Structure 1
Amino acid sequence: MSAALIYYVAASLDGYIARPDGRVDWLKPIEDAGDDHGYQAFYDSIDGLLMGRVTYEAVLAFGGAWPYPGKPCMVLTRGEPPRAAPEVQISHDTPAQAIEQLAAAGCKRIWLVGGGSLAGTCYSAGLLNELVVSFIPHLLGAGIPMFATGLERRLQLREQRSFPTGVVQLHYLLLPDSETP
């Protein structure tokens, strides 16, 4: 069984997903605007989540209830961070192995949550199928890039949306290597 891996992420207009120290405080004005920018519809469309340790620990630091209820979540790490919820599984597997496990559990659409490092690894390994990026009208100038590593790849625009907040959301399909120059 095969599953699609979707990198759904917010980024500054200059391509950063967080400040150099990992803070995402610059997203607060957009969050406070009251528009979910299609988040709930996206969340309803996925069956599982894949994230790295740094993103996982950042989510835990926000406090409160686990924000991704009812969906299996595989956290890739070499350590043993605490489990935030029963649906969280800590794994020492490769991204490909984790995707296989989520697919075997019935996940057809997997959200790659945050993390430029994991996103770059999945991208370079050819595991990423879709990219949905919400560009925030903010320039950070420096920070954690959307992709830490990667190879050149052509994209096919599937959908574009704009919101009154100034956010522009672009949904791309990653074309197979054979279609990349």
Structure 2
Amino acid sequence: MRKLVYFIASTLDGFIAGPDGSDPTGPGGFWSPSEDYIQHLIEEYPETLPGPARAALGITAEGVRFGTVIEGRKSYEVGLAAGVTDAYPHLEHLVFSRTLTQSPDPGVELVDGDPAAKVRELKHRDGKDIWLVGGGGLAGALHDEIDRVIVKLSPLTIGSGIPLFGRTAAFAPHAWELTDHTVLKGGAVFLTYDRNPGATRSSSTAGPA
């Protein structure tokens, strides 16, 4: 069965974006990734680079980890604001939203139902794992369904912003096991945690906008 993997960049103090939710690595963002960080993504996670970046870097490899990417409406609209209607045309792309009524791109599927139910359906399909790209609200709604967390820990703090699991996630402690880590000279650390199989799942109530 496929895994749901929350592959996300985070500051040392646990924020995935600034207070306005904008892309921390985008134009005017607060974090400029080091060269070895980008190289590590190219070598280990090429499918997580957006289509325009893949084209600029000459990347054509499908990647070996993910076949599907899911995100919430606010995360998706960061790309829309930059004129990108499908940042991941090389992956099956789903956007969860209760307010968008028509997909801006034929390659993007809109889902307005229960995120957890849809993810459980996706897990039972054949293929590579499912990448949860963000944002925090959707991650909070899917807290109980996440099988693996890969944190791209950046060497900075920002004080406030969008937390790893959003601002409205239910209190639901889970145990995780560190199964891999990579320390880069530029200061970033990739930390892989798998859900402890003995952890108890509880109900989450938050959902995408």
Q: TM-score, normalised by structure 1?
A: 0.85
Give the unaligned 5+ runs of structure 1.
none
Counterparts of 2:119 and 2:191, CA distance in 1: 24
- Matched with 2:2 is 3
Counterparts of 1:166 and 1:74, CA distance in 2: 32
- Matched with 2:177 is 156
- Matched with 1:38 is 40
Question: Is the Cα–Cα contact under 8 Å of residues 36 and 185 in structure 2 kept in the other structure?
Answer: no
SS at match of 1:157: strand
TM-superposed deviation, 1:170? 0.3
Which piece of structure 1 moves more, 92-101 or 102-111? 102-111
TM-superposed deviation, 1:73? 1.2
- Matched with 2:190 is 169
Q: Count matched residues.
A: 175
Aligned counterpart in structure 2 of residue 145 of structure 1, from 137, 140, 163 = 163
Deviations 1:55-89 (CA, angstroms, capped at 9, x unpaired) = 01112223347321221111110122653543310
TM-superposed deviation, 1:34? 6.0
Aligned counterpart in structure 2 of residue 132 of structure 1, from 150, 154, 157 = 150
Q: TM-score, normalised by structure 2?
A: 0.75
- Matched with 1:112 is 132
SS at match of 1:90: strand
Give the unaligned 5+ runs of structure 2.
48-62, 202-209
Counterparts of 1:85 and 1:117, CA distance in 2: 23
Counterparts of 1:122 and 1:66, CA distance in 2: 22
Question: Is the Cα–Cα contact under 8 Å of residues 74 and 98 in structure 1 kept in the other structure?
Answer: no
Shift in alpha-carbon separation, 1:17–1:55, aligned structure 2, 3 A: same
Shift in alpha-carbon separation, 1:86–1:39, aligned structure 2, 3 A: farther
